[in-house]
Amino acid sequence: MVEDNLKNILKELPPEVKLVAVSKFHPASDIQAAYNAGQRRFGENRPQEFAAKVPSLPDDIEWHFIGHLQTNKLKFVLPYASLVESIDSLHLLEAVDKWGSEHDKVIDVLLELHLGAEETKGGFTEEEIESILSRSLSGAEGSGAEGPFSHIRFRGLMGMATNTDDVSVVEADFARIEAFKKSLEDRYDLPGFTELSIGMSHDWPVAIRHGATIVRIGTAIFGPRVY
Ligand SMILES: *Cc1c(COP(=O)(O)O)cnc(C)c1O
């Protein structure tokens, strides 16, 4: 079943768009089944669950962390994640940078833009993201010291559209993040800032019309999650 689901999605997904199979709440055996069908990129959102799964699975899996991350849980995530997609506060970003500095590792991240109406959803405003990127580029020129975020590699933006069946609302959310990413690319010299991670099981076809380079699909691959 997992294999058929993957096949059906990959049939529709443009080849340049990266598929993250979101395996949260599903056992390692489901991940292995998707791996055996050829999938190599997986996403998890709970730090301890993530760290527990990694050792039992093949080591050429590219793991993305996509959930809320508390600064006291970095050790469960940063040694294994190729990309932390869900940086949603300055406090977290600074802690990840510090962890990278202490472990001599540069961490690839996406900045999460707050989209949609729900007050509970996390993420930065446009202004906050601009301020972080300006600070990262201001560097420590000439001083010999390390600049701000010297152990962070900014790879792009992540967003979650409003959870609604109204496609026009989803379109508006994705159009907003697409336009914002474009305006950042036009105004800042950010090599490697190329990724736009938008789109989940119910809205990824809309996301690819709005420039998604990464889609994060769980239910449509693994079936419903049992919490
Ligand atoms: C769970 C989750 C997904 C996948 O959701 P589905 O609707 O199951 O495809 C994508 N992105 C994030 C951030 C998630 O937490």
Mean pLDDT by 10 residues, the chain (227 residues): 96 98 97 98 98 98 98 98 98 98 98 82 93 87 72 97 94 98 94 96 97 98 89
The response to whether residue 216 sits with its C-beta less than 6 Å from ligand 1 reads yes
Rg of the chain's alpha carbons, rounded to an integer? 17
The 10 Å Cβ neighbour count of residue 25 is 16
Which atom of ligand 1 approaches the CA of 202 most closely? 7
- Which uninterrupted H or E stretch holds 154? strand 152-158
The response to whether residue 200 sits with its C-beta less than 6 Å from ligand 1 reads yes
Note the pLDDT of residue 29.
Answer: 96
The CATH-assigned architecture of domain 2-222 is Alpha-Beta Barrel (3.20)
* CB contact at 8 A, 87 and 94: no
Could you tell me which residues come within 8 angstroms of residue 46 by beta carbon, excluding any fewer than 6 positions away? 24, 67
> What six digits make up the tokens of 152?
């962070």
Measured between alpha carbons, how far is 78 from 56 in angstroms, rounded to an integer? 17
The 10 Å Cβ neighbour count of residue 71 is 13
Could you tell me which residues come within 8 angstroms of residue 138 by beta carbon, excluding any fewer than 6 positions away? 147, 148
Note the pLDDT of residue 142.
Answer: 56
Measured between alpha carbons, how far is 44 from 52 in angstroms, rounded to an integer? 11
The response to whether residue 66 sits with its C-beta less than 6 Å from ligand 1 reads yes
Note the pLDDT of residue 227.
Answer: 72
Note the pLDDT of residue 120.
Answer: 60
Residue that is written with structure tokens 């305006």 in the block: 183
Note the pLDDT of residue 33.
Answer: 97
> What six digits make up the tokens of 173?
């959310």
Q: Following CA atoms 174, 175, 179, 181 in sequence, which dihedral angle do they give, to the nearest 10 degrees?
A: 10
Of all protein residues, the one whose alpha carbon is nearest to atom 13 of ligand 1 is: 66
Rounded to the nearest angstrom, the distance between the alpha carbon of 46 and the centre of ligand 1 is 12
The response to whether residue 198 sits with its C-beta less than 6 Å from ligand 1 reads no
Of all protein residues, the one whose alpha carbon is nearest to atom 6 of ligand 1 is: 218
Note the pLDDT of residue 145.
Answer: 63
The response to whether residue 9 sits with its C-beta less than 6 Å from ligand 1 reads no
> HSE on the CB side for 5, CA within 13 Å?
19
Buried b (16+ CB within 10 A) or exposed e, 187-226: eeeeeebebbbbbbbebbebbbebbbbbbbbbebbbeeee
Would you list the domain boundaries of the chain?
A: 2-222
Which 8-state DSSP code applies to residue 105? -
> What six digits make up the tokens of 100?
């990278």
> What six digits make up the tokens of 60?
């050429």
